[in-house]
Amino acid sequence: MSERERDDHSGTETTGHEWDGIKELDTPLPRWWLWTWYGSIAVAIVYWILMPAWPGITGYTRGLLGQSDRTDLSGELARLETVRGQGLVKLKVASLAEIEKDPQLQAYALQVGQSVFGDNCATCHGSGGGGARGYPNLRDDIWLWGGSLEEIQHTIRVGVRSGNAHARGENQMPAFGRDQMLTAAQIGDLAEYVMALSGRNADAAAVGRARQTFADQCAACHGPAGAGDRGKGAPNLTDGEWLYGAGREAITAQLFNGRNGVMPAWETRFSPETVKALAVYVHANAAGDSGAPVATTAKNVILLSGAAQAR
């Protein structure tokens, strides 16, 4: 090995590298650093022996301690089950009204409900329960199947058109257009009639033509005045809430295609306590129930009565 150059000022050897006249000193590392490094290697080897470390073709080295994240997770989940179990017992014995009255139990039910809602209901109803087109808003005071604690609990249990023996929604909205029950002209007229029902501008002549069609085809479920029927889950057509869209086009599309919402029956998947907690959560976050739709005077009395047509 050739003699290495020494820096004049410090007396330290240089690496022989030079940039623009600046040479790199080859200052030796302190030995404690070396020991620390050896120590780290020793710790790594001990770790390999004790803990799962090296991947192989069909598996991996398990390590002497038998540590496994998967086993840890199962243990944690089992522990969670027991923790939840204590609270759920209270939910089981209390009635829905009692749960809502007891602040502590209500808070617990709301926690459980929120978690279950987020995992199962939010997909359709939105994480805040605000609903979406085709999926009812659970935060307002308008309910297709009733907004009391018991009614909400029942809907959650049996679902809507879910195939459950007691499922809600044995009545279906027909697809008047797709199934050729009504002509396109009749459907267009009917859409004008529905627009008039909710108090919006509509073609008076079309409304007049559709009056008989509405009475024949729609009134059985939506009521003669279009106020809906909770027993059948028929929405109120005179208010501002539209499950499948508010505009003329959306109403025409719904008359043509007759979409019917489906909700699973959750009683097969959730324990009764979970359903209770969920019902309390949904009820607590809703704005109450404005009540079953009643046949109030339609807002477009003149249009609907035909007075405008006669004029």
Partner 1 sequence: MTVVIDKLSKKPGGEPESAAAHARKRGDAGGGLYKPRTPIYPKLVHGHWRRIKWALLIATLAIYYVTPWIRWERPGALPDQAVLVDFFGRRFYFFGIQLWPQEVYFITGLLVMGALSLFLVTSLFGRLWCGYACPQTVWTDLYIYVERAFEGDRNARMRLDAAPWSFDKLWRKGGKHAVWLGLAFGTGGAWIFYFRDAPTLLREFWTGQAPITSYISCFLLTATTYVFAGHMREQVCTYMCPWPRIQGAMLDEHSLQVTYRHDRGEPRGAHKKGAGWDGRGDCIDCNACVVACPMGIDIRDGAQLECINCGLCIDACDEIMDRVGRPRGLIAYDTDDAVAARAAKRTPRYPMVRPRTLYYAGALALVSAIMLWGLANRETLDLHVLRDRNPMFIRLHDGAIRNAYTLKIANRGFEPVPVEVRFEGVPGARVSTPGGADGTPVTAVLPPNEVSAIRVFVTVPPGSLGAASQPAGFEVRAAAAAAGARTTFLSDVESAR
Residues that bind partner 1 (CB under 8 A): 11-13, 28-34, 100, 106, 110, 126-131, 137, 139-142, 239-241, 280, 283-285, 287-288, 290
Q: How far is the CB of 30 from partner 1 (least distance, A)?
A: 5
| Closest separation in Å from C-beta 290 to partner 1 | 4
Q: Classify burial at 219, counting beta carbons within 10 Å of its beta carbon; exposed 0-12, middle 13-18, buried 19 or more.
A: middle
Q: Do the beta carbons of residue 90 and residue 261 sit within 8 Å?
A: no
The smaller minimum CB distance to partner 1, of residues 153 and 186, is found at: 153
Cα–Cα distances in angstroms (integers) from residue 28 to residues 8, 32, 37, 39, in the given order: 17, 12, 15, 19
Q: How far is the CB of 111 from partner 1 (least distance, A)?
A: 11
> In terms of CB distance, is 88 or 110 closer to partner 1?
110
Considering beta carbons, is residue 32 or 54 the nearer one to partner 1? 32
Phi and psi dihedrals of 12, rounded to 5? -85, 150
Least distance CB 286 / partner 1 (angstroms)? 9
In the complex with partner 1, which residue's Cβ is closer, 47 or 60? 47
Q: What is the DSSP letter of 28?
A: P
Residue 239 CB, nearest approach to partner 1 (Å): 6
CB 197 within 8 A of CB 298: yes
Residue 14 DSSP SS3: strand
Q: How far is the CB of 28 from partner 1 (least distance, A)?
A: 4
Smaller CB distance to partner 1: residue 209 or 283? Answer: 283
Exposure string for 25-48, b = 16+ CB within 10 A, e = fewer:
eeeeeeeeeeeeeeeeeeeeeeee
In the bound state with partner 1, the residue whose beta carbon lies nearer, of 137 and 186, is 137
- 204-213 and 184-197 helices, crossing angle to 10°: 100
